Amino acid sequence: MGKLIYTDRKNKARVIVCEVVLALLTAVAVMSVITDLFNIKFNISNIASGEIAGGFACFVNSIADTLLINDGIVLKHLSGASENCELFLVLSTVVIAALVYGIIQSGKKWLIFVIPMLALLPMLCTSARQNVFGVLFLLVMTLVSFAYLKSKSSNLVPGIVQVTAIALILLVALGFPVISVFFEKADFASAVKGFTTRNVSNLYYGTAPLGNGELTGDKRNVQNDIALEVSMSNPQATYLRGYVGESYTSDRWSALPYATYKESRNLMFWLDNEDFNGLGQLGQADSLVNDTNTIDIQIEVKDANKKYAYLPYEYSGENESLLNWYDSYITNGNFGRMKSYEFKAYENATGSWTDTAGKLFTSSADEKISEYLKDESWFNEFVYENYTYLSTKEISLMQEYIGDRGDQREGHIEYSTAIKKVRDYLNQNFIYTQDPGLSQDAVMEDFFKNKKGYDTHFATAATFMFRYYGIPARYVEGYLVTPEDVKNAGEDGQMSISQQNVHAWVEIYIDGIGFVPIEVSPEYYDVMPQANLDTGFENSIVRSDFVPENSGGGASTNQVLQNNTSQEESSILQVIKIIVLILLIVLLLAILALLLRKLINSYRRFNFFKKGEPKKAVAAMFEYLETHGLSFDDRAVELGNKAAYSRQSISPEERDFMLFQVKSAKKADRKERLRWKRLK
């Protein structure tokens, strides 16, 4: 007999409208997160002029650009891309809304979290910056939809009140100093947010002994394994630059933010077409003023990190199969590892860069040198704008321990003076030790306070100091090919470079000739050949028209404000990412636990139905049919009563018949449910 269903059409219309609005708002929140994450602009006026296929290509290309700049993930661009993708975004929002509406209609509460989880997953796996309010909006809409389903479409008010209360408690809690400081601790953020990415990266690329800019290690723990096999046609001592730290936050170095790279793409493309080699600028400058030969170098990576190419400062040019990251470092792209590669380089110039700088500006009448200096002036401006920045926190640290940086209105202090100041300060006041026992919370503050550390701390402190003096500087990790290694090279010029040769140093930008390595760790003063600072090289040699106006004091006021703002946003975003990650993990574990429990119980139940003692099994099956409201015939009732109330035994055949009844009843019930859903 069928069931009578009473339908209040007016109430049903309200329910449909409510569900459609919920689905649309959730879809808008999802698209807001995605467009913010991948820096995709949305202008409502462009919808009429857009197209679906071209918009899809534009959408994919925007994602590819963001992943390329932030994480080194190389995706091919699609051809036929439009200038905008608004129409595609609108249609995608409608499709997502339809999916959410379908989930709401299904009544499966846990399914409502699937789409937001998929939308938030890229945020946790990429370094791209995300709008905090977009994430909060998505979380709130997901919780509202969940509350709606939980209330069985009858009354939204209790659910909305609950969600609002949760959101207010969360926001208020984050405002309390104790909680906010707890979330902002570097060790907590690193443990929660960075754990997965660091370990996956180490597993895939190999462990970076010095952490690739991560300064929270409590000791310098380096093995004696072979890191690199290096072959040179003319063996010579050299610095092999690998990881380059450009921006410092939360006790670690990282690359420049996406916005900076995006603004400079045209400049870097133009400089590349002009054959300006910012990555090997020192070698290029030296070849213009000296009779310099090139040598062939082959590197096979053994136990070293395979994410970055290890290249000398005299690198002569770019291998087109590799990816040059704005003349800072090189990777393979496409998730490739730098296992084995070869290139050409000019003869070593890091030990004579002072002579190179002097000759370059006294020979500038040469046409090639004049063209080079013109190109360098553009790159020079990019360098000063981005590598003299210090946060207010780091400036305060420098003022406390270094003191006044002098009048820099006419330009930064002279190079040799700055180098001597940095070396003397670190050499006279600090102890080099591989086990400094520094705090894991504020590493560099503890370094300046306790005055002990190893090369990563010395290099970071020197980078701060050079920037404080107005000189562009970057933090570098790589390997040293020492004179001792050259002495022990085989007949084919092959050298085995140990992990003991891994090193961190600071590189500073010398106007005209590019970045040069500066040794600031006392333990390494006599390891590598160093340029003679007493050869008459002076800052005044550099022509003032190649020095940007803002070079004297580091970044401009606007840039400092923008960077401070971005750091504050990054700190808030970090907290949000941690919260989202924890919620997703807890939710995923809860869902898995429920599914596992359900599967185990189902397996045990039907295993008992099939193999248990016949009388008990039939009684249990009859109870199962009754409690689940399943249909059964008179024979099943007879057997159930016989098993439950009679002293008569039950045969295995009767047990099998009852099991068949259970299976048939469940199958019929599924069909009936589907039929009623279609009728609704």
Neighbours of 46 (CB within 10 A): 17
Question: What confidence score (pLDDT) does residue 481 get?
Answer: 96
Could you give phi then psi for residue 478, rounded to 5 degrees? -175, -155
- Alpha carbons 129 and 107: distance in angstroms, whole number: 34
- Report helix angle 367-386 to 281-289, nearest 10: 150
Q: Distance of alpha carbon 597 from its chain centroid, rounded?
A: 35
Question: What confidence score (pLDDT) does residue 562 get?
Answer: 43
Spans in the chain with pLDDT lower than 70: 1-14, 68-74, 123-133, 151-199, 258-259, 262, 318-321, 333-335, 364-365, 535-591, 677-680
Q: Distance of alpha carbon 150 from its chain centroid, rounded?
A: 36
- Alpha carbons 64 and 356: distance in angstroms, whole number: 40
Q: Are 271 and 278 in contact (CB under 8 A)?
A: yes
Question: Given the DSSP bridges, would you call strands 226-232 and 238-245 parallel, antiparallel or unpaired?
Answer: unpaired
Closest C-alpha among 86, 88, 87 to residue 43: 86
- Alpha carbons 290 and 271: distance in angstroms, whole number: 23
Question: What confidence score (pLDDT) does residue 430 get?
Answer: 95
- Alpha carbons 587 and 214: distance in angstroms, whole number: 30
Question: What confidence score (pLDDT) does residue 603 get?
Answer: 84
Partner residues linked to 298 by β-bridges:
231, 342
Question: What confidence score (pLDDT) does residue 379 get?
Answer: 94
Residue ranges of alpha helices (H) inside 186-239 are 186-192, 194-205
Q: What is the pTM of this model?
A: 0.66
Report the first-to-last Cα separation within the chain, whole angstroms.
18
- Alpha carbons 460 and 247: distance in angstroms, whole number: 11
Question: What confidence score (pLDDT) does residue 396 get?
Answer: 93
Question: Given the DSSP bridges, would you call strands 452-453 and 431-432 parallel, antiparallel or unpaired?
Answer: parallel
Burial group, residue 601, by CB count within 10 angstroms (0-12, 13-18, 19+): exposed
DSSP 43-106: -GGGTTT--HHHHHHHHHHHHHHHHHHHH----PPPSS--S--HHHHHHHHHHHHHHHHHHHHH
Question: What confidence score (pLDDT) does residue 509 get?
Answer: 96
pLDDT digits (tens, 9 = 90+) for 115-153: 777 777 776 666 666 666 677 777 777 777 777 777 654
- Alpha carbons 502 and 410: distance in angstroms, whole number: 38
Question: What confidence score (pLDDT) does residue 175 get?
Answer: 47
**Tokens read off for 583:** 């919620």
The amino acid sitting at 520 is: V
pLDDT digits (tens, 9 = 90+) for 474-508: 999 999 999 999 999 988 899 999 999 999 999 99
Let me know how many helices (H) and strands (E) the chain has, helices first.
Answer: 22, 14
Q: To which residue do tokens 């010579």 refer? A: 236
Q: Phi-psi bin for 275: left (phi > 0), alpha (psi -120 to 50), beta? A: left
- Alpha carbons 68 and 223: distance in angstroms, whole number: 33
Question: What confidence score (pLDDT) does residue 197 get?
Answer: 64
Neighbours of 370 (CB within 10 A): 11
